Amino acid sequence: MSPLRIAIVGFGKIARDQHVPAIAATEGAVLAAVASPNTSLAGVPQVATLEELLRNGPPFDAVALCTPPQVRRDQAAIALAAGKHVLLEKPPGAMLSEIGPLLTAAVAARRTLFATWHSRVAPAVEPARLLLAGRRITAVRISWKEDVRVWHPGQAWIWQPGGLGVFDPGINALSILTRILPQPLFVTSADLAFPANRDAPIAATLRLADAAGLPIFAEFDFRQTGPQSWDIHLDTDQGPVILSSGGAKLSAGGVQHVVAAAAEYAGLYRRFVELTATGEPDVDLTPFQLVADAFLLGHRRTVEPFEDAT
């Protein structure tokens, strides 16, 4: 069987650091081209845009859209109309309402639309889900705090409408939470801190619950210096369970569980290859819905302006 020929559209930090090595490590996949106006990859055909790729580029079967979320809907629609499978970086778009028509188009064309959540593929997430299945969870606390200047240097799109601000990393925590908890969740309150000169929040606190009233408190912050935190702490009837390092580590009752190291993006691409074999879609919008509800329900506070040091 011929390998799935994948073109990366948008070639920034995440594409170079994660997508390129993941494709190289995935059996049945090969990087066919890059579409980016400003950057290239040695040994790989490069054009400026998806449209140019479709007109003049090498043959390919699928696109991985690593562009900012504000432009992904148009690109996904173009790719699906051209008969290509589509992988969407997270979040899948700038708005919830734009994903439904894309899914309809994908099903009609018998092409895969894959809305990815890379943190769900972190090595300790599935072990945590299985562990928690036999316990009663009584409370959840999330601390997802990082330095935006380190992880998103000079990325103006993240501060623009549709860029999500601190929810760009925060949605990773929500993607894990909605995977490991057994019941659907909803937002009960939100506090959003917007820099005076930006259109997206730099920090947020959320309270969530499930139908049984499970209390969940989440703190997201882009202003963290020093140690970074990507942790989910769950109180259970058999002691605490902690997912740390973004889902890479698991401890329960003070005992560290050994989990096999795994590359998140390689897991996504293995799944993508499987899906494209049949044209099956995989689109779970639950984490995105929680972020949208936080914006709808949230109290907005204005804080000091943010200036990117770069």
Catalytic residues: 90
3-class DSSP assignment, residue 183: coil
| Max CA pair span of the chain | 60
Strands 46-47 and 29-35: parallel
What pairing do the DSSP bridges indicate for beta strands 203-210 and 185-195?
antiparallel
Closest CA to 158 of 49, 13, 304, 303: 13
Q: Could you give the residue ranges of the DSSP H alpha helices within the chain?
A: 13-14, 20-25, 50-56, 72-81, 99-109, 125-132, 148-151, 167-180, 264-276, 286-297
CB 168 within 8 A of CB 12: no
**Dist CA 222 CA 146 (whole Å):** 5
Q: Cis omega before residue 91 (within 30°)?
A: yes
Residue with tokens 């989910």: 232
Q: Is the separation of the CB atoms in 50 and 39 below 8 Å?
A: no
Please provide the distance, in angstroms rounded to a whole number, between the alpha carbons at the two ends of the chain.
Answer: 46
Residue corresponding to tokens 């705090």: 145
C-beta separation of 65 from 86 below 8 A: yes
d(CA 106, CA 88): 13
Q: What's the rounded Cα separation, in Å, for the pair 140 and 240?
A: 10
d(CA 293, CA 202): 17
